[in-house]
């Protein structure tokens, strides 16, 4: 509970004993935990039953927002206004998620740009950060009601493979929910903490595999724990493999047995939902029994444990392939792993536990509730930050390589993948033109050789370099990653001591100065910051579209019909008028209208231009 101490030296009030909570912000479910008399506990809802809050947000007709179990009920009846799996979209651009849109029952805006994804619900546009903030608010209310006190500080867990943008988005969501996010912790690290690994001054060193099979995702992480330091050696996984696939395997079997086509299930939503729920019930039942039978709309359905296990063997094999990859990256063999931790509801299946245990050649840790283990560990981490457990330190690794763009669009890696964090690395560069005054530094993340295949994190310009012949300036670029995995890039011209630096956040489409201003604002301004940012993003996007749209008209004058030209012009003018609005949704709607109309025109123009270019080529 919160107690306050007065610092006698300067009279300031310190709230150093305030409860800091641990939050597992999951893809399917989220949980909040805290330390109660030295033991981590997850908090249940008002009904006192489940500690899980489904990560689902529903927007009703009158804009009323519900979260959790209540929202989950709308997944079938009102899918377009019910947001689930938003964690998959955190810190991603439309280009990142392109190809997986059909997975979501709601509308993701196709703006075909590098800016972060937006989700359309009725006439409004939301970011994954705003939607995640709703889930976090629900957890905040839950624990505040439970503890009867205000909670303002939290530790939030993220998958070990989350990149800087995704971590920053998670922090922003916490801020928006009124939480000061003291630390972003990797989920496997939290799981290891929950099992008490590495705690205590005389704890022996060891390697740990954290096998996390949830509802829709699979992650395997290899950790090294030594002297109270937790280090992620490697991560691997499959973002579209989880308990839902096991349910689907049973559904397919029953479909075949009963002669039900997939079309039938799509058309008859009620039947589709019923068979899915029954399949999940069968799967769960078979975790503790040898056979399952039930009735599906008057027809008998059944499955035995051995049939089920044969059915899902390929799914489990896929997870084992990931385990092999993770071990290879860590440079280890299965027998070198000392402990194996089971995380996620799907690890309750005995066939999963047995396969994993056989692979590593030892029993797995499964005594804690696999749904709660990450949140429990987050609560322990929060307790460490509150100063209650001093001997523990956390160390993670970079999930992807970080580097800058060099001549010809090549990726120059400065911090390689799986480097320990916090970490610092640098390299020297020079100019390629005589008297070059400015140097643009573009920062990328990824494993490919060409930056165009990697993810751009941001860019900045080192200005006013004193005029020198090409090759003479010495420009030192340093990458510094702090304990939260946030990257600072610093550029310095060593001859003149000119220096500039940038903290890397998502490419929001606004200038660094604007972003810095907004992020400097305290947690109390999070809501208004978010609105301002949304509007700026929309205006910027609109201005870019206005520029490219007008250029497109000029360049393709001969290809377009009069009607197409005048309609595109009218839509451009409408968009220009919309940019004056203070309502970002008005701008987004105008962008979407213009996009919808011009996309087929652009495709046609491209085809014609390619054809004429080819026609002019001699073979």
Judged by CB under 6 A, which of 128, 159, 214, 458 binds ligand AMP? 214
| All residues at 6 or more sequence positions from 94 whose CB lies less than 8 Å from its CB, including other chains | 108, 109, 110, 111, 112, 113, 115, 117
Half-sphere exposure of 147 (CA within 13 A, CB side): 24
Strand-strand pairing, 13-14 and 455-462: unpaired
| Between 280 and 541, CB nearer to ligand AMP | 280
| Between 214 and 458, CB nearer to ligand AMP | 214
Please state, in angstroms and rounded to a whole number, the distance separating the CA atoms of residues 329 and 314: 23
Please state, in angstroms and rounded to a whole number, the distance separating the CA atoms of residues 93 and 258: 42
Is 187 annotated in the active site? yes
Judged by CB under 6 A, which of 111, 231, 371, 541 binds ligand AMP? 371
Q: Which of 18, 138, 172, 212 is catalytic?
A: 212
Q: How far is CA 112 from the centre of its chain?
A: 19
| Between 198 and 215, CB nearer to ligand AMP | 215
Q: Which runs of E-coded beta strand occur in 392-436?
A: 393-394, 396-397, 402-406, 410-415, 420-421, 423-429
| Between 188 and 458, CB nearer to ligand AMP | 188
Residue nearest to ligand AMP (CB): 243
* Residue 349 Cβ vs ligand AMP, minimum distance, rounded to whole Å: 5
Q: Segment near ligand AMP (CB under 6 A), from 22-30, 97-105, 115-123, 609-617?
A: 22-30
Which of 350, 395, 341 lies closest to 373 in space, CA to CA?
A: 341
Enumerate the H helices of 305-416 as residue ranges: 305-330, 350-360, 373-385
* Residue 217 Cβ vs ligand AMP, minimum distance, rounded to whole Å: 8
* Residue 232 Cβ vs ligand AMP, minimum distance, rounded to whole Å: 20
Please state, in angstroms and rounded to a whole number, the distance separating the CA atoms of residues 483 and 490: 17
| Between 289 and 450, CB nearer to ligand AMP | 289
| Between 198 and 214, CB nearer to ligand AMP | 214
* Residue 251 Cβ vs ligand AMP, minimum distance, rounded to whole Å: 13
| Between 224 and 283, CB nearer to ligand AMP | 283
* Residue 287 Cβ vs ligand AMP, minimum distance, rounded to whole Å: 4
Q: Is 220 in the site for ligand AMP (CB under 6 A)?
A: no
> Which pairs from 171-176 meet CB under 8 Å and 24+ separation?
171/484, 172/129, 172/526, 172/530, 173/25, 173/90, 173/128, 173/129, 173/130, 173/132, 173/133, 173/136, 174/23, 174/133, 174/136, 175/523, 175/526, 176/129, 176/130, 176/133, 176/136, 176/526, 176/527, 176/530
Q: Is 187 in the site for ligand AMP (CB under 6 A)?
A: no
* Residue 348 Cβ vs ligand AMP, minimum distance, rounded to whole Å: 4
Judged by CB under 6 A, which of 19, 29, 186, 579 binds ligand AMP? 29
Q: Segment near ligand AMP (CB under 6 A), from 120-128, 344-352, 441-449, 524-532?
A: 344-352
Which of 87, 61, 396, 80 lies closest to 222 in space, CA to CA?
A: 396
Do 65 and 59 meet the contact criterion of CB atoms below 8 Å apart?
Answer: yes
| All residues at 6 or more sequence positions from 525 whose CB lies less than 8 Å from its CB, including other chains | none
Strand partners, 573: none
Judged by CB under 6 A, which of 128, 159, 188, 215 binds ligand AMP? 215
Please state, in angstroms and rounded to a whole number, the distance separating the CA atoms of residues 337 and 350: 21
Cα R_g (the chain), whole angstroms: 27
Q: Which of 18, 187, 247, 537 is catalytic?
A: 187
- Backbone phi and psi for residue 480, each to the nearest 5 degrees, phi listed first: -125, 120
Judged by CB under 6 A, which of 159, 345, 403, 458 binds ligand AMP? 345
Helix (H, G, I), strand (E, B) or coil at 560: coil
| All residues at 6 or more sequence positions from 157 whose CB lies less than 8 Å from its CB, including other chains | 22, 23, 24, 25, 184, 185, 186, 187, 190, 374, 375, 377, 378
* Residue 175 Cβ vs ligand AMP, minimum distance, rounded to whole Å: 25
* Residue 376 Cβ vs ligand AMP, minimum distance, rounded to whole Å: 13
| Between 91 and 344, CB nearer to ligand AMP | 344
Element (DSSP H or E) covering residue 44: none
* Residue 94 Cβ vs ligand AMP, minimum distance, rounded to whole Å: 25
Site string for ligand AMP, 286-315 (x = CB under 6 A): -x----------------------------
Q: Is 72 in the site for ligand AMP (CB under 6 A)?
A: no
Token couple for 402: 């970080």
Binding residues for ligand AMP, total number by CB under 6 A: 17
Please state, in angstroms and rounded to a whole number, the distance separating the CA atoms of residues 501 and 486: 13
Judged by CB under 6 A, which of 128, 243, 485, 549 binds ligand AMP? 243
Q: Is 28 in the site for ligand AMP (CB under 6 A)?
A: yes
* Residue 594 Cβ vs ligand AMP, minimum distance, rounded to whole Å: 39
300: left (phi over 0), alpha (psi -120 to 50) or beta: beta
Is 87 annotated in the active site? yes
Distances (CA, A) of 459 to 106, 462, 512: 32, 10, 9
Q: Is 346 in the site for ligand AMP (CB under 6 A)?
A: yes
Question: In the structure, how many helices (H) and strands (E) does the chain have?
Answer: 16, 31
| Between 29 and 568, CB nearer to ligand AMP | 29
Q: Segment near ligand AMP (CB under 6 A), from 21-29, 164-172, 326-334, 579-587?
A: 21-29
Site string for ligand AMP, 464-493 (x = CB under 6 A): ------------------------------
Please state, in angstroms and rounded to a whole number, the distance separating the CA atoms of residues 474 and 230: 37
Q: Segment near ligand AMP (CB under 6 A), from 279-287, 389-397, 436-444, 541-549?
A: 279-287
| Between 187 and 405, CB nearer to ligand AMP | 187
Q: Which of 18, 72, 87, 130 is catalytic?
A: 87
Element (DSSP H or E) covering residue 21: strand 20-25
**Location of structure tokens 């529903």:** 58
* Residue 358 Cβ vs ligand AMP, minimum distance, rounded to whole Å: 19
Element (DSSP H or E) covering residue 613: helix 584-615
| Between 130 and 372, CB nearer to ligand AMP | 372
| Between 10 and 47, CB nearer to ligand AMP | 47
Contacts with ligand AMP in 73-102 (CB under 6 A)? none
Residues involved in catalysis? 24, 87, 187, 212
- Which residues of the shown chain bind ligand AMP in the complex (CB under 6 A)? 26, 28-29, 214-215, 243-244, 280, 283-284, 287, 344-346, 348-349, 371
């Amino acid at each position: 509970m919160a107690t306050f101490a007065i610092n006698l030296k300067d009279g300031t009030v310190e709230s150093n004993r305030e409860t800091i909570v641990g939050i597992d912000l999951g893809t399917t479910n989220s949980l909040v935990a805290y330390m109660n008399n030295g033991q981590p506990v997850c908090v249940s809802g008002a009904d006192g039953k489940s500690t899980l809050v489904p990560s689902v947000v529903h927007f009703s007709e009158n804009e009323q927002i519900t979260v959790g179990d209540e929202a989950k009920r709308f997944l079938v009846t009102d899918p377009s206004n019910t947001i689930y799996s938003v964690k998959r979209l955190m810190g991603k651009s439309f280009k990142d998620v392109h190809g997986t849109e059909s997975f979501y029952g709601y509308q993701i805006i196709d703006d075909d740009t590098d800016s972060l994804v937006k989700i359309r619900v009725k006439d409004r546009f939301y970011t994954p950060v705003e939607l995640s903030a709703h889930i976090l608010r629900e957890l905040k209310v839950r624990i505040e009601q439970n503890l009867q006190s205000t909670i303002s500080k939290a530790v939030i867990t993220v998958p070990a493979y989350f990149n800087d943008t995704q971590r920053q988005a998670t922090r922003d969501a916490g801020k928006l929910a009124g939480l000061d996010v003291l630390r972003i912790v990797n989920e496997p690290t939290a799981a290891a903490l929950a099992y008490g690994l590495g705690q205590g001054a005389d704890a022996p060193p060891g390697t740990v595999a954290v096998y996390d099979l949830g509802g829709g995702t699979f992650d395997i992480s290899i950790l090294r724990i030594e002297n109270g330091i937790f280090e992620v050696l490697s991560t691997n996984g499959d973002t579209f493999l989880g308990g839902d696939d096991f349910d689907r395997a049973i559904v397919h079997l029953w479909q075949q047995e009963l002669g039900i086509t997939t079309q039938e299930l799509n058309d008859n939503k009620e039947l589709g939902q019923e068979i899915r729920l029954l399949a999940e019930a069968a799967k769960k039942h078979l975790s503790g029994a040898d056979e399952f039978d039930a009735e599906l709309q008057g027809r008998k359905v059944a499955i035995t444990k051995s049939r089920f296990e044969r059915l899902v063997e390929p799914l489990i094999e896929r997870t084992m392939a990931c385990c092999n990859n993770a071990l290879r990256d860590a440079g280890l063999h299965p027998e070198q792993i000392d402990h194996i931790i089971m995380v996620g509801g799907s690890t309750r299946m005995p066939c999963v536990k047995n396969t994993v245990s056989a692979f590593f050649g030892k029993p797995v840790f499964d005594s804690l509730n696999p749904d709660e283990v990450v949140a429990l560990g987050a609560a322990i981490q929060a307790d460490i930050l509150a100063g209650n457990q001093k001997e523990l330190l956390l160390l993670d690794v970079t999930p992807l390589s970080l580097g800058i763009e060099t001549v010809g669009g090549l990726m120059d890696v400065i911090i390689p993948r799986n480097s320990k964090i916090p970490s610092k690395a640098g390299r020297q560069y020079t100019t390629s033109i005589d008297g070059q005054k400015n140097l643009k530094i573009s920062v990328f993340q990824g494993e490919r050789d060409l930056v165009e295949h990697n993810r751009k994190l941001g860019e900045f310009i080192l200005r006013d370099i004193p005029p020198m012949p090409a090759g003479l300036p010495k420009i030192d670029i340093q990458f510094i990653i702090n304990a939260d995995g946030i990257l600072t890039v610093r550029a310095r011209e060593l001859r003149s001591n000119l220096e500039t630096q940038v903290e890397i956040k998502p490419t929001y489409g606004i200038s660094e100065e604007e972003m810095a201003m907004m992020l400097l604002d305290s947690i109390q301004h999070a809501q208004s910051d978010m609105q301002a940012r949304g509007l700026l993003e929309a205006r910027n996007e609109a201005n870019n579209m206005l520029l490219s749209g007008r250029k497109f008209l000029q360049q393709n004058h001969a290809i377009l019909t009069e009607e197409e030209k005048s309609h595109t012009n009218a839509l451009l003018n409408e968009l220009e008028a919309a940019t004056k609005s203070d309502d970002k949704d008005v701008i987004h709607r105008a962008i979407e209208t213009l996009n919808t109309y011009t996309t087929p025109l652009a495709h046609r123009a491209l085809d014609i231009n390619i054809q004429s270019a080819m026609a002019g080529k001699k073979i």
